[in-house]
């Protein structure tokens, strides 16, 4: 549990990196806390102390129901948020489904409402039959929650998210079904001897909790720990980005020629030159990257960078319905990307978001900010989002056929011919 709490702290500290990887950071953090609580309940069902007194079976049962329903609701909320985030039209029509605060509140509320089940049976079932009856009720509730997640599986089945969140959810559903089967066999007393002692509900719960925590919290932290770009400085990140992208293009041993092709030295060298800024300068490359970002569930971050870049270049097209000035453009960008619950809200640091919202509130009260303040209001936010894009998305884009097609359609510049000896 100590190791789990440590990993959860690392996960939350890196929330800005994980959010751009479609991780639903606050939902997963809540989920991790619930899993740690569930583990504490399961380790020794008779040694839990609440308010200085040992917990009885009824109190323990209340905690189990609350945690079970809350955990299942968190995973269902992640499926819904992933599906809505992958469909821009659905996201614009129902933006509240992307609110993690709302989904966390709903998940915990469902857990609280589930307490009505053990309370009802406590006062309607005789004490001598209560424990056996409650075991069957818990198994039935778990099965219903698993079936609900299975019904939502088609929603994420074809979602091609780059960081395999849908695959993680599928593994969780399968694991829950396996646990339900073994618990049912245990309750029906179809298992005997050592097998029954090994495959009992507490052991199955510990196994399930460990796998769920490993998939949702520990594995993302492990990947981030071994990612040389994740938390390094921007220059180092760009250097590693280019070198890793070039290495990734080399065919692996044993791979088929239909899936891997050998790239030429000129192609490998040209990849070293690509950053987000250069991608944005070419229309065909920018369009290919925009489509790729849609698959990566971070299209709103790309839109934010594009709009801020236009704003910095004094192109206030986004504000044309509001009058077309700099103040109107600032207001339009802030309301579309920065405000809480905005249609295309991006994940900014607390300080940057607070400063932008404060300036927006000043403008709403009639206190117009200076031209200098307006010119630099998005600078820090732009740098932060661009660094996240380059650290998480650009290097994956460089490994795709879409990048190669767009790059091959571009005529090389004179500088590239001199640097990489490309044919004229």
- Same domain, residue pair 122 and 179: yes
Least confident window among 226-230, 240-244, 293-297: 240-244
Asked whether residue 156 falls in the same domain as residue 56, the answer is: yes
C-alpha–C-alpha distance, residues 42 and 54, integer Å: 15
Q: Indicate the SS3 state at residue 69.
A: helix
Q: Mark whether 7 and 152 lie in a shared domain.
A: yes
HSE (side-chain half, CA atoms, 13 Å) at 105 = 7
> Last residue of a domain, which of 225, 259, 287?
225
User: Pick from 191, 225, 259: which residue ends a domain?
Assistant: 225
The answer to whether the CB of 326 falls within 8 A of the CB of 315 is: no
pLDDT band of 282, cuts 50, 70, 90: confident
Instruction: Supply the pLDDT for residue 322.
Output: 53
Could you write out the DSSP letters of every residue in 105-139? HHHHHHHHHTTHHHHHHHHHS-HHHHHHHHHHHHH
Give the CATH number, domain containing residue 269.
1.10.167.10
| Separation CA 81–CA 97 (nearest Å) | 6
> Residue 109's pLDDT is what?
93
235 band by pLDDT with thresholds 50, 70 and 90? very low
In the chain, % helix, strand, coil (3-state, to 5) comes to: 75, 0, 25
- In which region does residue 161 sit, left (phi positive, over 0), alpha (psi from -120 to 50) or beta (all else)? beta
Same-domain status, 253 and 163: no
The answer on 248 and 216 residing in a single domain is no
Can you give the pTM of this predicted structure?
A: 0.58
Q: Using CA atoms, how far apart are residues 146 and 30, in angstroms rounded to an integer?
A: 19
Residues 424, 412: Cα–Cα separation, whole Å: 8
Mean pLDDT value across residues 302-311: 87
Confidence class for position 249, pLDDT limits 50, 70, 90: very low
341-362 pLDDT, tens per residue?
A: 777 778 777 788 888 888 888 7
pLDDT: is 423 or 227 the higher one? 227
Contact 244, 392 (CB under 8 A): no
Q: Is the pLDDT of residue 78 over 50?
A: yes
Residue 10 in this model has a pLDDT that exceeds 90: no
Residue 192, exposed/middle/buried by CB under 10 A (0-12, 13-18, 19+)? exposed
259 & 132 share domain: no
> Sorting pLDDT into bands at 50, 70 and 90, what band is 226?
low
How far, in Å, are 344, 354, 366 from residue 339 at the CA level?
9, 9, 19
What is the mean pLDDT of the segment spanning 177-191?
70
Same domain, yes or no, for 145 and 256? Answer: no
Identify the helix (H) or strand (E) that includes residue 262: none
Q: How confident is the model at residue 327 (pLDDT cuts 50, 70, 90)?
A: confident
Q: Are residues 33 and 81 in the same domain?
A: yes
pLDDT confidence of residue 215: 80
- Please name which of 13, 88, 158, 77 lies closest in space to residue 302, comparing C-alpha atoms: 88
Q: Are residues 99 and 206 in the same domain?
A: yes
Closest to 395 (Cα-Cα) out of 166, 239, 164: 239
Q: Are 163 and 258 found together in one domain? A: no
Q: What is the pLDDT of residues 395-419, one digit of tens each?
A: 778 777 878 787 777 665 544 444 4
Decide: 231 and 17 in contact? Cβ < 8 Å.
Answer: yes
Q: In this structure, which long-range contacts are made by residues 418-423, counting pairs with CB atoms below 8 Å and at least 24 apart in sequence?
A: 419/269, 420/265, 420/266, 420/269, 420/270, 421/266, 422/266, 422/270
pLDDT at site 341: 74
| Choice among 40-49, 58-67, 178-187, 190-199 with the minimum mean pLDDT | 40-49
Q: Who contacts 334 (Cβ-Cβ below 8 Å, separation ≥6)?
A: 356, 357, 359, 360
269 plus 308 within the same structural domain: yes
According to the model, what pLDDT value does residue 36 have? 85
Last residue of a domain, one of 190, 225, 260: 225
- Quick one: pLDDT band at residue 195, thresholds 50, 70, 90? low
* Portion of the chain with pLDDT greater than 90, in percent: 2
Could you give the number of structural domains in the chain?
A: 2
Between CA 17 and CA 61 the distance in angstroms is: 37
pLDDT tens sequence across 34-45: 888 887 777 655
Domain of residue 117, residue span: 2-225
Could you tell me if 247 and 168 lie in one domain?
no
Arithmetic mean of pLDDT over the chain: 72
């Amino acid at each position: 549990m100590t190791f789990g709490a440590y990993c959860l702290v690392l996960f939350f500290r890196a929330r800005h990196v994980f959010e751009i990887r479609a991780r639903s950071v606050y939902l997963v953090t809540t989920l991790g806390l619930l899993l740690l609580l569930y583990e504490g309940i399961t380790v020794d069902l008779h040694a839990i102390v609440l308010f200085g007194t040992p917990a009885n079976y009824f109190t323990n049962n209340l905690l189990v129901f609350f945690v079970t329903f809350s955990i299942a609701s968190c995973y269902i909320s992640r499926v819904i948020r992933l599906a809505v985030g992958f469909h821009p039209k659905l996201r614009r029509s129902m933006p509240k489904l992307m609110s993690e605060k709302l989904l966390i509140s709903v998940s915990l509320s469902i857990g609280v409402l589930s307490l009505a089940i053990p309370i009802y049976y406590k006062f309607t079932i005789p004490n001598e039959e209560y424990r056996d009856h409650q075991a069957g009720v818990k198994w039935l509730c778990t099965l219903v929650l698993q079936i609900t997640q299975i019904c939502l599986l088609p929603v994420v089945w074809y979602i091609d998210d780059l960081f395999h969140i849908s695959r993680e959810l599928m593994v969780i559903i399968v694991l829950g079904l396996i646990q339900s089967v073994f618990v049912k066999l245990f309750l029906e007393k179809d298992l005997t001897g050592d097998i029954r002692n090994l495959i009992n509900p507490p052991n199955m719960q510990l196994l399930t909790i460990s796998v769920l925590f490993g998939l949702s919290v520990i594995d993302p932290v492990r990947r981030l720990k071994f990612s040389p770009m994740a938390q390094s400085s921007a220059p180092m990140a760009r250097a590693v980005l280019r070198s890793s992208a070039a290495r990734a293009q080399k065919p692996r041993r044993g791979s088929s020629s239909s899936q891997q092709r050998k790239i030429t030295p000129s192609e490998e060298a040209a990849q070293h030159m690509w950053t987000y800024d250069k991608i944005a300068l070419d229309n065909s490359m920018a369009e290919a990257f925009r489509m790729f970002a849609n698959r990566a569930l971070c299209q709103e971050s790309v839109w934010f960078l594009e709009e801020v870049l236009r704003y910095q270049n004094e192109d206030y097209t986004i504000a044309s319905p509001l009058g077309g000035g700099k103040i109107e453009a600032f207001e339009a960008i802030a309301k579309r990307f920065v405000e809480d619950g905005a249609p295309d809200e991006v994940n900014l640091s607390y300080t940057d978001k607070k400063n932008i919202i404060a300036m927006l509130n000043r403008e709403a009260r009639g206190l117009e900010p200076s031209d200098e303040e307006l010119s630099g209001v998005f600078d820090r936010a732009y740098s932060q989002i661009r660094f996240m894009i380059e650290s998480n998305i650009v290097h994956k884009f460089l490994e795709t056929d879409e990048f190669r097609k767009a790059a091959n359609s571009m005529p090389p510049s004179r500088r590239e011919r001199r640097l990489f000896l490309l044919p004229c």
